[in-house]
């Protein structure tokens, strides 16, 4: 009797509005990606295939932010036909750069950028993908880390629920032997930001600016006061807006 062949899991890679840097981070895995995708049947991934979309998916990776009605319809369509949806990267998780427009006068910004068209474009507040559709897991990073993606892909292949990192960037920074920038009087958000990045910015001598978001349950009040003393609230707000974490930072105060 022949052993039963396990059916391939059906997977989709869908992009909303973004630079698609996270999709390219996946492609940069090269041969490792090809081997890891063998247990999967790819239905959508416009960067590598022009195949017809499948009727149903087991897993869908969605990168990019839902910036307009077209994006929202696309997100809801893929959600309706997939069992498990992963927000791939910070554009999907929190909006990142487009999120900055939540903190400016939108009418003035549109008039400055599109003076010939006036306010004829959609210009809503930017929201995380999870406020548009149900999201089963958020893969943080701008762009994502390839090793993170490989880990999550393997877990989903094996039917294991991925779990987010529950330690701060400082943990990995200390393991790597980096000097503490806060102790040197430089603004760094590492104590309150979710780790898993191997403190890549700190390894290169740059402060953490929070691309992986605030760790749940960690109040930001004390660090906020410390950083404000160093650079002022206006500059801190600008840093928090780069990766779209200002809202969650303020909610955690």
Could you tell me the residue ranges of all domains in the chain? 9-157, 169-251
What is the pLDDT at residue 116? Answer: 84
What is the pLDDT at residue 3? Answer: 52
Find, among 153, 145, 202, 135, the residue nearest to 11 by Cα: 153
pLDDT at 1 over 70: no
CATH superfamily of 9-157: NADH:ubiquinone oxidoreductase-like, 20kDa subunit (3.40.50.700)
What is the pLDDT at residue 207? Answer: 97
- Express each pLDDT in 182-210 by its tens digit: 999 999 999 999 999 999 999 999 999 99
Find, among 80, 144, 33, the residue nearest to 45 by Cα: 33
Residue 117 near residue 66 (C-beta atoms within 8 A): no
Mean pLDDT confidence for 55-74 = 96
C-alpha–C-alpha distance, residues 41 and 22, integer Å = 20
- Give the least confident one: 53-57, 123-127, 160-164, 219-223: 123-127
What is the pLDDT at residue 87? Answer: 98
What is the pLDDT at residue 75? Answer: 97
DSSP per-residue letters across 176-208: TTPPPTTTTT----GGGBB--STTHHHHTT---
What is the pLDDT at residue 47? Answer: 86
* Residue 185: HSE in the Cβ half-sphere, 13 Å Cα cutoff: 0
Is the pTM for the entire model greater than 0.85?
yes
């Amino acid at each position: 009797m022949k052993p039963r062949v396990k059916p391939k899991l059906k997977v989709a890679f869908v992009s909303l509005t973004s630079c698609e840097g996270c999709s390219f981070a996946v492609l940069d895995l090269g041969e490792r990606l090809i081997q890891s995708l063998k247990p999967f049947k790819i239905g959508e991934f416009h960067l590598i295939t022009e195949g017809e979309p499948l009727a149903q998916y087991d897993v869908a990776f969605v990168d990019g932010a839902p910036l307009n009605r077209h994006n929202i319809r696309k997100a809801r369509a893929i959600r309706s036909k997939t069992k498990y949806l992963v927000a791939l990267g910070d554009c999907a998780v929190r909006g990142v750069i487009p999120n900055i427009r939540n903190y400016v006068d939108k009418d003035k910004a549109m008039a400055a950028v599109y003076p010939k068209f006036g306010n004829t474009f959609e210009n809503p507040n930017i929201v995380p993908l999870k406020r548009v559709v149900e999201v089963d897991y958020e893969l943080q990073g701008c762009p994502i880390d390839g090793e993170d993606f490989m880990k999550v892909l393997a877990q989903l292949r094996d039917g294991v629920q991925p779990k987010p990192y529950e330690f701060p960037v400082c943990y990995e920074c200390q393991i790597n032997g980096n000097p503490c920038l806060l102790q040197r009087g430089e603004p760094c958000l590492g104590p309150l930001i979710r780790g898993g990045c191997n403190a890549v910015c700190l390894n290169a001598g740059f402060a953490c600016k929070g691309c992986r978001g605030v760790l749940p349950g960690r109040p930001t009040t004390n660090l906020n006061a410390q950083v404000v003393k160093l650079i002022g609230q206006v500059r801190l707000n600008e840093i928090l807006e780069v990766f779209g974490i200002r809202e969650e930072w303020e909610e955690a105060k």
